[in-house]
Amino acid sequence: MFTVFTVDGRIWEERVESRPNRFMVRMESGNTCHLHDPGRLKELMYPGNRVLVRETRGAKTSCSVLAGWDSEWVIIDSRFHPVIARRFLPPDAKGEVRAGESRLDFHFDGIWVEVKGCSLVRNGIALFPDAPTKRGEKHLRELIRLRQEGHGSMLMVLVMRPATCFLPNEETDPRFSEAFWEAMDSGVNLVVKSFKLEGRDIVYVSDLGLCQTRK
């Protein structure tokens, strides 16, 4: 295990009052904080649950949600995903690169990389997505196309809490799940890494494999 990123600024604990929309969370204290994760997060964003927030400046709100409590702190700020992913890529990897009709997260040495953050873990199984994602399916289709054209393609999943293995969340988004298994069959490289929050440090825990091969 090692630290991949240290969160700066003031961090404090709040309790959720409500989530009026995907990107705002009202707190029992009266604060309203920005949420940089459009997922459902039903296991984390419910009234009375504990959250960690950090001070932000120059935004419509004065704070952003960093993590939610579910027996442990679960990181739910997607702005950290590209920063974390870069720790495992060559230093000259280019970010936010156009590929066909999509924009993928990274490109280096002929390899295209799309990064997804995962916060949902059930019985040790990391599941993505936690809400239907047409955009996620589109990215997978792009990776498949690039692979079929002879390019390198990689799906990197960052599981933001400890887990034992990974699967696509077929129950929540069967279309994404189908595209995922097609990507695996076409040779898209899957890299899954798990992390945890220790104080203000985001710590790499381990690489994860698939819980099962395609049925």
Q: What is the per-residue pLDDT for 61?
A: 83
Do residues 139 and 156 touch, judged by C-beta distance below 8 A? no
Domain count, the chain: 2
> Same structural domain for residues 101 and 196?
yes
Q: Which of 49, 75, 101 is the last residue of a domain?
A: 75
Q: What is the per-residue pLDDT for 215?
A: 57
Residue 2 in any domain: the answer is no
Residue 128 in any domain: the answer is yes
pTM attached to this predicted model: 0.92
> Same structural domain for residues 68 and 125?
no
Task: Collapse the DSSP code of 133 into the 3-class scheme (helix H, G, I; strand E, B; otherwise coil) and give the result.
Answer: coil
Residue 33, domain extent: 7-75
What does the DSSP assignment read for 3-54? EEEE--S-EEEEEEEEEEETTEEEETTS-EEE----S--TTTSSTT-EEEEE
Q: What is the per-residue pLDDT for 114?
A: 95
Residue 1 in any domain: the answer is no
Cis status, amide bond into 129, omega within 30 of 0: yes
Q: Which of 29, 47, 75 is the last residue of a domain?
A: 75
What does the DSSP assignment read for 81-130? HHHHHHTTS-TTPEEEEEETTEEEEEEETTEEEEEEEE-EEETTEEEE-S
Residue 29 in any domain: the answer is yes
Tell me, what CATH number does 170's domain have? 3.40.1350.60
> Same structural domain for residues 16 and 83?
no
pLDDT tens track of the chain, all 215 residues? 899 999 999 999 999 999 988 889 999 999 999 999 878 898 999 999 999 999 987 667 889 999 999 999 999 999 999 999 999 999 999 998 888 778 899 999 999 999 999 999 999 999 999 988 999 999 999 999 999 999 999 999 999 999 999 999 999 999 999 999 999 999 999 999 999 999 999 999 999 999 987 75
Q: Which of 23, 41, 75 is the last residue of a domain?
A: 75
Q: What is the per-residue pLDDT for 137?
A: 93
Q: Residue 75: CB partners within 8 Å, gap ≥ 6?
A: 66, 67, 119, 160, 161, 195, 197, 202
> Same structural domain for residues 67 and 86?
no
> Same structural domain for residues 64 and 84?
no
